[in-house]
């Protein structure tokens, strides 16, 4: 599939975000990775509640899938399109993956690490910098998050934050260490 316009990539990212909310009550954030020729490599939605994985943000899910699709970790020439400004972890992962361009919808004043709180992706001290375009489809991206947080405040909302994923009951027992400091 060739993504010819940013709009189409945002449509896919927004859809992945909506799907994450519907499926597991995850915060609706979606991300897409497109290569230099415009071929779609991966789409990812936030899977934190679904998998119980604190690192399963949409960007990480999409970057991992894109690297698998390419057969290598280096995503040179690729663009990462995401509905919400990446956090420090995801901005760091985009740098580690050598992404060329980051395009995102709405700023995240609480955790954003591209424009709001830090600028991880354009820090000249790091070995790689990423070109940034922000504010594309910002209204649509903001509306999706607003809908989610409005619904979550209502008592009958899906995605109870205290619910455990299915694998939790069968997890291996952790080792115990008597540590003294
Ligand atoms: Zn993140």
Nearest to 33 by CA among 64, 5, 54: 64
Q: Report the pLDDT value the prediction gives residue 161, as an integer from 0 to 100.
A: 58
CA of 157 to the centre of ligand 1 (A): 23
End-to-end CA distance of the chain: 55
CA of 161 to the centre of ligand 1 (A): 18
Q: Report the pLDDT value the prediction gives residue 162, as an integer from 0 to 100.
A: 61
Residue position matching structure tokens 């690297």: 67
Alpha-carbon distances, residue 108 vs 4, 29, 166, 167 (angstroms): 27, 12, 31, 31
Q: Report the pLDDT value the prediction gives residue 156, as an integer from 0 to 100.
A: 56
CA of 104 to the centre of ligand 1 (A): 12
pTM recorded for the entire structure: 0.89
Instruction: Give the Cα separation of 181 and 165 in Å (integer).
Output: 34
CA of 143 to the centre of ligand 1 (A): 19
CA of 90 to the centre of ligand 1 (A): 4
Q: What is the pLDDT of residues 58-112, one digit of tens each?
A: 999 999 999 999 999 999 999 999 999 999 999 999 999 999 999 999 999 999 9
Q: How confident is the model at residue 174 (pLDDT cuts 50, 70, 90)?
A: confident
Active-site residue among 59, 85, 169, 180?
Answer: 59
- List Cβ neighbours of 173 (8 Å cut-off, separation of 6 or more): none
Share of the chain above pLDDT 90, in %: 81
Examine the residue annotation and report whether 59 is marked as an active-site residue of this protein.
yes
Identify which has the larger pLDDT, 21 or 181. Answer: 21
């Amino acid at each position: 599939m060739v993504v010819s316009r940013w709009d189409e990539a945002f449509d896919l990212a927004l859809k992945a975000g909506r799907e994450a909310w519907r499926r597991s009550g995850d915060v609706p954030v979606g991300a897409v990775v497109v290569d230099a020729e415009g071929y779609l490599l991966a789409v990812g939605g936030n899977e934190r509640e679904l998998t119980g994985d604190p690192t399963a943000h949409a960007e990480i899910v999409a970057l991992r899938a894109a690297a698998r699709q390419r057969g290598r970790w280096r995503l040179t020439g690729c663009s990462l399109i995401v509905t919400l400004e990446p956090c420090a972890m995801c901005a760091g992962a985009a740098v580690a993956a050598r992404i060329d361009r980051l395009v995102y919808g709405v700023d995240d004043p609480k955790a954003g690490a591209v424009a709001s709180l830090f600028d991880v992706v354009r820090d000249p001290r790091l070995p790689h910098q990423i070109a940034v375009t922000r504010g594309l489809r910002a209204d649509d991206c903001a509306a999706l998050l607003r809908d989610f947080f409005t619904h979550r405040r209502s008592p009958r909302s899906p995605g109870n934050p205290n619910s455990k994923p299915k694998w939790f009951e069968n997890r291996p027992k952790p080792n115990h260490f008597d540590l003294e400091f």
